[in-house]
Structure formats: C-alpha cells, structure tokens
Structure 1
Amino acid sequence: MKYPSVLTLIVYAALLLCIGLFEAWVFTRLERIKIVRTHLFIFIELLTIVSVRYIMKRLNTVIKTNSIIAFGFVFKIVVLAVLLTSLITMVFVVLPVSSNPHILSLISTYCLGAVVFLTTCLAISDMMSFVFRQFSKLRGNTRSSPMDRSEIKIRTLLALICALVLILYGAIGASGINIVRLNVPIKGLNSKLNGTTIVQLSDIHLGAFTGKRVMERIVDKVNTLNPDIVVITGDLADSNFQALKEAASPLKKILSRKGVFYSTGNHEYYTGDVDNWIKFIPQFNVTPLMNKRVCLYRSRDLGTESCDRGLYLAGLEDIETRKMRYGSHSMDLHTALSGRKEGVPTIVLAHQPWAAVEAIMWNDVRLVLSGHTHGGQIFPAIPFIYLYNPFFVGLYEPRPSVFVHVSPGTVYYMLPFRHYYRPEITEITLISS
C-alpha cells in the first residue's frame, strides 16, 4: 500500500485551513462555526496521521535493528495500538457529549499526548542532527557522511526516553488541583473590606474530556475556602448548554457570600451556543457579566444606595469577539466601565491577557483577573504562548497599584498533561492599601 508523502498531507491540511478561514469570512455565524469546526477536525486528524506515520517509520528502524528490545513484535503492537487510538480523539470532539466523558475518550487523549510528545522529541532530534551536519560541512569536514542505522537507532531511543519523561511528568502535573493563595493590595479599598476573599476559577473546559465529576471536585474545594466572592474567568464550556447542563449543575452548590460571577472566554463562542450559556447559567446561581458591572458592598446614605465605600466588579466579553462577527457580541470596555464613582476600586474579569492590557488603562481599575494561557500547559506550546501573550501566568504589576492575575486554569484543555503550571484554584485576599 502506497501512503501519501508527509509533504502532501501537510499541503492538504494547509489548504483545508485556508478554505476554512475563507468560509469563516463569507458564511453566517452558525454556518461559520460548523464549517470551521469541521475543517479544524480534518486538519488536526491529518496532522495526527502525519505524526503517526513519522513515528512508525522511525520505530520500525529501531525494532528491526535492536534485538535488545524484548518482545519486539509485542512492543510494535502496543505502539501501533497507542498510535491508532490517538486518531479517534477528535471524533469525541464532534460527537454529542454527556455529563461525564467516555472512558475511551480519556484513553485517547493520553495516546494523542504520547504522539505529540514523541513527534516533538523526534523532530527536535532530527533538526539537531541536520544542523550539526550542515555546520560540519561549513567547517570543511568532508568526512561527514549520511546517517547510518546505528545513529538513527540511538537518536530514536533517546527520543522515546524523553517522550516517556514528558508523558509521566505531564500526567502527574495534571493529576490534581492546587489551591494557591495571594494577597493583593488594592488602592482605595475601604478598610472594612480588608481581607475580602475572591476565589478565581478559569478554563474548566466542560465537554468531551471534562465532566460533572471534575466539576463536583472543584466545587468541593471552593467551598472549603469559604469565599466572599467567586469568579469564573471564561472557557467554562466546549459544547452547547443543553448537552452540558447536567455537567455544569454542581455550580449551584458553590457557597459564596456575595455570589458567583462569570465572564465568557473564546471557547464559549466556538460552541455556537454562547447566547444560551449567558441566558441559562443564572439557574445555577451564577451571574453573567457581559460588558457589565455590579457594585458589591453597597452602603446607604440619606436613604439611597451608594457604592462610595464598596467595590465594583466588571466583566467583559472575550476580546476575540471583535473579529468573530458573532452577532452583536463584542468586548466593550466603555459600556462596562463608564459612569463609575470616582475613587472606587474596580476589579475586571477579562479572559484573555490582551484584554487586560486595555482594561488597566482605565482609572480606578486596580485588579484584572484573566486566564486563557493555561501556563502553556505542555512543552511544545509553552515558549510560543509565553512569547505571544503580554502576561503569561501569575501576578503582575504593570502599573503602580494596578495588578493583573493570569490563572493557569482550573483543569486542562483536551490533553491531560501539565509541564509548567499545575491546575489551580486561586484564592485572592484583598488588602487595603
């Protein structure tokens, strides 16, 4: 059987992506979302096929030339099973989801992770070998010869070891949820509000790979903190509301003195059902803040309510809505922040760090809570996500007395691995400054 070349598959994948981007500009909102999701599915499947073919070609060399590998045939069957299982991961993304993920979907994500890590390690090995050989030629080393089987075998074995380390370390890193506590000084905060606690959740990604059981564990951990305020800074879901209604239902068990507040991330819009998420999430005692704000800890002066001694909490739609053409949805700082009482500190929920860059320029905005980056999540992505985002992960002070906190996420996205920051629930204590 003759397989298409790697270059041919890459060209096909790039062509599909280009067609998808064109269709995303031409068609209506729901049509765009369905078409782009379909093209993305095909694109990722093609890249996975390329990776699987690349890995099998390299492993065949090792198995054929290394009698030390015990039970070579069994080893090959196991590897083939892992590689083939990785190919069905994206199928679960397009299939209807239930309240808890199917066991096969979870197994497939581990297999896909193994493919990603092994492909990365093999590719780095090949690139290093290529650079070394080119460097040798430039230095006039005429003895530089094409790679022999023994060199390929050694580099492949080293790549296997590196990939295994990444798999084990990443799986351990994603296996639990840390509780991280921060103290943040808030300029202008009423002394009576000193010690107010905010628990931040972000990037839970309910859907094909994260379900009700995980949501229940998150809620249990939140309730042990006895928070004053709970916020969810986007990417709560990866599918439509009706499909995930049961999975999201533990949210109504969160115990918080001032309530639970929610702003959208980019993934809610990718579901094509963000309007229903905004409309129906209040049934879980969650208040959506879409370019809106609320005043917490109001006081009564001369019989009227005032926010003079309180705190504003504002939420923004995701910044990506500006280029999505998703109906009337668009991040609007002016609507969310105009007309506030001067001197009253404001906390803003803005999913992406690029939105935080804009929010911190407004007067009296003292803290912006973001997510989105996942702290890079896995090794191949970490440097790229770090370089792209203005704030990567953790607490920043970009201006005097103005802070930005970027959560690494409460769960993970698709692949159950973490190489840099572990999943996190952040407890932020506000300190009068």
Structure 2
Amino acid sequence: MFLLTVLTVWSFMHLYTFWRLAKLPWLATVPRWAWWAAGLLLWFSYPFARYLDRNGMSSEFARLLELSGAVWLGTLFLLVTALLASELLTAFGLWKAAVVPVRTGSLALAALLSVVGIVQGNRTPRVESLEVQLPQLPRELDGLRVVQLSDLHLGTILREGWLSARLAQVQALKPDLVVVTGDLIDGNARHVERLLPLLKELKAPLGVYAVTGNHEFYAGLEASVQLFRDAGFTVLRDQNVEVRPGLVVAGVDDLTARRQYGINHRAVEKALAGRPPGACVFLSHTPWQVEEAARLGAGLMLSGHTHDGQIWPFSYLVRLSYPYVGGTYQVKGLTLHVSRGTGTWGPRLRLWKPGEITLITLRSPSS
C-alpha cells in the first residue's frame, strides 16, 4: 500500500506538471509526442534506478540514472509547488491575462530554487553545538562530549569520499561518545558493506552506539544490524546499557517502520525499564513518543528521520506526521534534539540549511 501510494502521487505530480507546462505558448513548438515521451522517461528514471539497485543490477549507468532521477524528484516537487502557487495567483486560470507570465515565472522560480537546493545539499554538513543540562548526571561527567550522526543514507549516491570527509569532521570534534540515530544505510546493505573499513574508523573512548532507522528495515533489518555490529557499533534494540557509572544510553528499533509493519512491542517502555541509576540519553530514529520517554525518566532524546523537511516547503507536510520536525525542544523536563540529517535522502537538495553533525556537551546540575 505504501509503494502504491507513493507511485500514485508520483504519477499525478508528473501529469499535473506536464499538463500545465504544455499549455505555455513558448513550449507549443515541441511536438506532443516528444513532450509526453520526456514525461514518461522522467517518470521512470528514479523508480527504475531503485529497482535496478534493489535487484542487484548495480552499474555506473544505474548510479547515474539514480542521481539524475533523484535531482528530478526534488525539482519536480518544487515545480508542483510553484505551479500550485500560480493557480492561486491567477484564480485557477480565471485571470487569463496573467496565466502565461505567472506560470512562466513559476517555472523560472522552481529552476532557480533547484539550483540553490543543489548547492545547499552539496555543502559540508554544519556542526551544530548544543549544551544540555542532564538530570542525575554525576559531576565528574560534566563536559562529556557526544557527537550525533543521523540519516547518512550511504549507498549509490553518498559513498566513500563523502563518508571519509564526515569521519574527519567527527574526529576533529574529539567526542567521548558517538551515537548514530538511524538510516545509516539508504536502501541496499551491500553498498555499505564495502564501506566497513571506513566505518570501523568511527570510534570514541566510551564507544559508538546506534539504533536502526526505517531504511534499515527496508534494506533488511537483521543484515543491517549485523553490518552495524561488524563496524564495531553497539546496537540498542529496545534496550539500555550503562556506558559509565551514572550515565545510561537507551535505544529502540525505529518507530515509523514498526508502525508500517504492524509491530507494537511497547518499545520505549521496554528500552527504558530496569536501567541502572543515573542520567539517561535515549536514542530513537523517529521523534515519536517523546512525552512517554520523558515520563519514563529519559533526560535527553536524540532523533532524526524528518530531515527538517529537507526541501522547503515540504517541512509543512512533514509536520503533519512529525510535530517535532527539527531542532531542539523542551518536553516535560526532557530535552529533545531532532537532527536535520547528516546526509540527504533522494535528491542532493536542501532548502535552506545544509546537513548537520551535532555536538552535544552534557552538563551536570551539580557542576
């Protein structure tokens, strides 16, 4: 049902865009067969590239097809948004004198925003620094540095060179503890297996802790978890671990994927139950059940998944399902930080902020 819904929306976006653009006089010279053939090819580009990759037919052609299809995905979203705005400006075509110039302007605006988005999406992720006073954190752990990586989406588009640069950024921050809050893998675990030598370089004195995201479920949950473990990560699957006396890290398998697959194991309650005394950092790829985590005693919750909408104004749609869409929130005594993602999903486009690596400095109330 999820795939059918996505393909239906994808189809309607193409039909609407090409229907509206075909009515522009300065495009009327393009033969209709060429116009609709181009639309069909663009419709096939991204789904077909993903199909090739998922079925092990990887090649440089498939990679370039996915890259170009992903760029078209982001551009199409901006085109549809701009054209819908033009409908409002022209009273859905009733203001006939304005239709052509306004739609032409919408096309130009979408093209400009796509270029800006590509530049922004390819910028080096920004290090966002955050200080959090963590209840029950012992005085001797005051100043402990935690680095959060989230939504790297490693695969055919984000590969060795990009990952190596991100690891250098992390090492420069000298973290005591590293957490990976899901979607390390984009969709095919085989691509990430080749990156294991690099991933094994991700280390910290108190360890590297990870939870699964929805894309680990899509890539094959058990294979993804094993890959994390092969990289040297401690994977928290509805459980907690004491990393130092007075500091506990807990984590759950992704809540979005669990809902999609009909899995309900009271994961948050299970992960936070029976933990040793002290401060608690809770990892959940999806920023859901935040109030429940606060009620159960977590002091800091680290999430991702939303990408902060990635391409404005998509963030407004994301907010319908994920009220905590990006940034830092205070929820019933708990500090929640939702990363906008270190990498990107699909198109290497972002409006308006670059990717994020988060540096959290923990503070003890008694310091």
- Offset at residue 409 of structure 1 (A): 0.5
How far apart in 1 are the matches of 2:291 and 2:107? 41
Q: Which letter does structure 2 place at the counterpart of 1:411?
A: G
In the TM superposition, what whole-angstrom CA distance separates every residue of 1:350-409 from its partner, at most 9, and x where no partner exists? 11111333211112x110001111111112411122343232211111123x21111001
Change (3 A) 1:99 1:369: farther
Change (3 A) 1:228 1:78: farther
Q: Give the stretch that moved more between structures: 48-57 or 175-184.
A: 48-57
The aligned residue for residue 62 of structure 1 is 26
- Offset at residue 122 of structure 1 (A): 1.1
**What pairs with 1:8-19 in structure 2 (closer than 5 Å)?**
none
The aligned residue for residue 129 of structure 2 is 181
How far apart in 1 are the matches of 2:109 and 2:284? 37
The aligned residue for residue 286 of structure 1 is 233
Q: CA RMSD in A?
A: 2.9
How far apart in 2 are the matches of 1:45 and 1:345? 45
**What pairs with 1:33-432 in structure 2 (closer than 5 Å)?**
37=3, 39=4, 42-43=7-8, 45-59=10-24, 61-64=25-28, 84-85=41-42, 87-96=44-53, 102-130=63-91, 146-148=94-96, 150-176=97-123, 177-247=125-195, 249-271=197-219, 273-297=220-244, 307=245, 310-325=246-261, 330=265, 332-342=267-277, 344-363=278-297, 365-400=298-333, 402-432=334-364
How far apart in 1 are the matches of 2:41 and 2:14? 9
Segments of 5+ residues of structure 1 without an aligned counterpart are: 1-19, 21-35, 65-71, 134-145, 298-306
- Offset at residue 418 of structure 1 (A): 1.1
Higher relative contact order, structure no. (Cα contacts within 8 Å, ≥ 6 residues apart): 2
TM-score for the superposition, normalised by structure 1: 0.75
Change (3 A) 1:125 1:321: closer
How far apart in 1 are the matches of 2:59 and 2:303? 27
In the TM superposition, what whole-angstrom CA distance separates every residue of 1:73-113 from its partner, at most 9, and x where no partner exists? 7xxx9998698446401211121265998233222222332
Change (3 A) 1:280 1:119: closer
How far apart in 2 are the matches of 1:154 and 1:239? 41
How far apart in 2 are the matches of 1:421 and 1:201? 16
Q: Which letter does structure 1 place at the counterpart of 2:170?
A: V
Q: Give the stretch that moved more between structures: 77-86 or 160-169.
A: 77-86
How far apart in 1 are the matches of 2:233 and 2:59? 19
- Offset at residue 219 of structure 1 (A): 1.4
1:356–1:370: 8 Å Cα contact kept in structure 2? Answer: no
SS of 1:379's equivalent in the other structure is coil
Q: Which letter does structure 1 place at the counterpart of 2:322?
A: N
Q: Which letter does structure 2 place at the counterpart of 1:285?
A: G
How far apart in 2 are the matches of 1:248 and 1:42? 33
How far apart in 2 are the matches of 1:318 and 1:155? 43
In the TM superposition, what whole-angstrom CA distance separates every residue of 1:318-363 from its partner, at most 9, and x where no partner exists? 1235434467x74512321112234x11000011111333211112
Percent of pairs with identical residues:
28
Q: Give the stretch that moved more between structures: 210-219 or 402-411.
A: 210-219
Q: Which letter does structure 2 place at the counterpart of 1:376?
A: G
Segments of 5+ residues of structure 2 without an aligned counterpart are: none
How far apart in 2 are the matches of 1:374 and 1:262? 18
SS of 2:323's equivalent in the other structure is coil
- Offset at residue 202 of structure 1 (A): 0.7
- Offset at residue 244 of structure 1 (A): 2.9
How far apart in 2 are the matches of 1:260 and 1:99? 32
2:315–2:325: 8 Å Cα contact kept in structure 1? Answer: no
2:90–2:102: 8 Å Cα contact kept in structure 1? Answer: no
Structure index of larger Rg: 1
How far apart in 2 are the matches of 1:205 and 1:40? 22
